[in-house]
Amino acid sequence: MRREHLDVVLDDATLGPPVMVGSLQRERGASSEVISFVYDADYLAQRHSVAIDPELPLLPGRSYPARGRPLFGIFRDTAPDRWGRMLMERREVIEAQEAGRRTHRLSEWDFLTGVGDLARMGALRLRDGAPPHAYVDDRERSAPPAARLRELEAVARALSRDDAEDRPEYAQWLAQLIAPGSSLGGARPKASFSAEDSMLWLAKFPAHDDRRDVGAWEYLAWRLARDAGIVVPEARLLRFGRGHRTFAVQRFDRANGSRRLYASAMTLLMRNDGDAGSYLDLAQAIQLHGDPASIAADLAQLYRRAVFAILVGNRDDHLRNHGFLRNAHGWQLAPAFDVNPNPDKREHTLAIDAANPTPSVRHLHATHHYYRLDAHEATAIEQGVRDAVSHWRALANELKLGRVAQGQLGMVIDETRD
């Protein structure tokens, strides 16, 4: 059994100076691997140390993920999802061809360590345990500037084509996108970039086979969410050429030049991909793990987001599409993200009450006490969101979404939905 170790550094200025919290170990056999974590003794001895994952309480000794789970959730949250994994797998094919060797099947460890340090989600950084203690995959030391977005959009569109591997520019395209584009979750083409103020942003590009202007739809939902009192990061809608547009959003896990410790709702609830969930589960996560000073506000905000999701048809609302940021006293609800009207689904991924995924404000209202709201407070939130969403057609016109697009949106957005 071969063993490899990496230090885990927590680099969140709101929690103190950078500190080594522990180490990851991979034990690799011929056809399997086991990844474990152990807290550093000095970190455990600190008075203000925080547990980085509900499955990793502040205790000595090596911990292993639950059966069937290759990584603890907090590390899975820093690893790539479908788009980033696709880029890494394609890079491995090219490197194998150039080296004249067989293509290796990438493992969870490979995906975790293949993410560039600069754009890695959250505040956990991985570094070599041996001197000079370099951070893992720190080859790309700067995010591409906004001025390169037109080029990156064209590359991402090309890579999303089925015949991309047959093009002579294929290896060059991968090299351009692998560092900025592999760090975050989701299936759509994307890349982190540095804005004019040096803040880190995420650009979500159109794919070559998009049937609708997905970026404009997400920007419309973002504008409506902001008007409805939902906490969202800054965002822009960008156009490169005559095709569909690019939705750009500021990375909420970066603030004032610092990283923020981030966990998905799936991690806080200790669930796996594919597990059922509900908005009541999210409310429970807030009450169990939240900063006591912000629990009431976060529960009200979550209720507002649930109402909004129902009215705009944001039905791909799974547990990875909700997240939390850590402060010294607990976890706080992160700004809303990946909010999209979805005409392809009739029901929500998350149940609105304990088990029913049918989009119904009435069903949600029946659960208002779980959000520490009385009936009048819940009704006021519902009406405020309805008022904001009712202006969607005027906004669609402003964004130059045509009659066909508005007809499609009208099938999912309904401010009168009960």
What pLDDT score does 160 carry? 73
Contact 193/148 with Cβ under 8 angstroms?
A: yes
Integer Cα distance of 55 and 189 in angstroms: 32
pTM (predicted TM-score)? 0.92
Integer Cα distance of 169 and 101 in angstroms: 22
Integer Cα distance of 233 and 251 in angstroms: 7
Q: Which region holds residue 154: left if phi is over 0, alpha if psi is between -120 and 50, else beta?
A: alpha
Contact 228/385 with Cβ under 8 angstroms?
A: yes
What pLDDT score does 173 carry? 63
The answer to whether position 202 is within a domain reads: no
What pLDDT score does 56 carry? 98
Domain coverage including residue 24:
2-78+99-128
The answer to whether position 210 is within a domain reads: no
Integer Cα distance of 366 and 383 in angstroms: 15
DSSP class of residue 15?
Answer: G
- From 91, 111, 128, give the residue that closes a domain: 128
Nearest to 124 by CA among 13, 330, 262: 262
Integer Cα distance of 405 and 220 in angstroms: 12
DSSP string of 46-93? STT---SBTTB-S-SSEE-PPTT-SS-HHHHTTS--HHHHHHHHHHHH
Q: Structural domain tally of the chain?
A: 2
Phi (first) and psi of residue 165, to 5 degrees: -65, -15
What pLDDT score does 243 carry? 82
Block mean pLDDT (10 aa), the chain, length 418: 88 96 90 92 96 97 91 95 83 84 91 89 91 72 69 78 68 65 65 84 87 95 98 96 90 92 97 91 97 98 98 95 97 97 93 94 98 98 98 97 94 91
Q: Are residues 258 and 403 in the same domain?
A: yes
In the numeric block, which tokens belong to residue 129? Answer: 């345990």
Integer Cα distance of 213 and 346 in angstroms: 20
Integer Cα distance of 380 and 386 in angstroms: 10
What pLDDT score does 183 carry? 56
What pLDDT score does 329 carry? 96
The answer to whether position 7 is within a domain reads: yes
What pLDDT score does 179 carry? 59
The answer to whether position 137 is within a domain reads: no
What pLDDT score does 138 carry? 55
The answer to whether position 56 is within a domain reads: yes
The answer to whether position 217 is within a domain reads: no
pLDDT tens-place string over residues 93-138: 888 888 889 998 899 999 999 888 888 999 999 998 777 778 887 5
pLDDT tens-place string over residues 117-129: 888 999 999 998 7
What pLDDT score does 274 carry? 81
The answer to whether position 27 is within a domain reads: yes
Side chain identity, residue 187: A
| Residue written as token pair 């639950």 | 66
The answer to whether position 377 is within a domain reads: yes
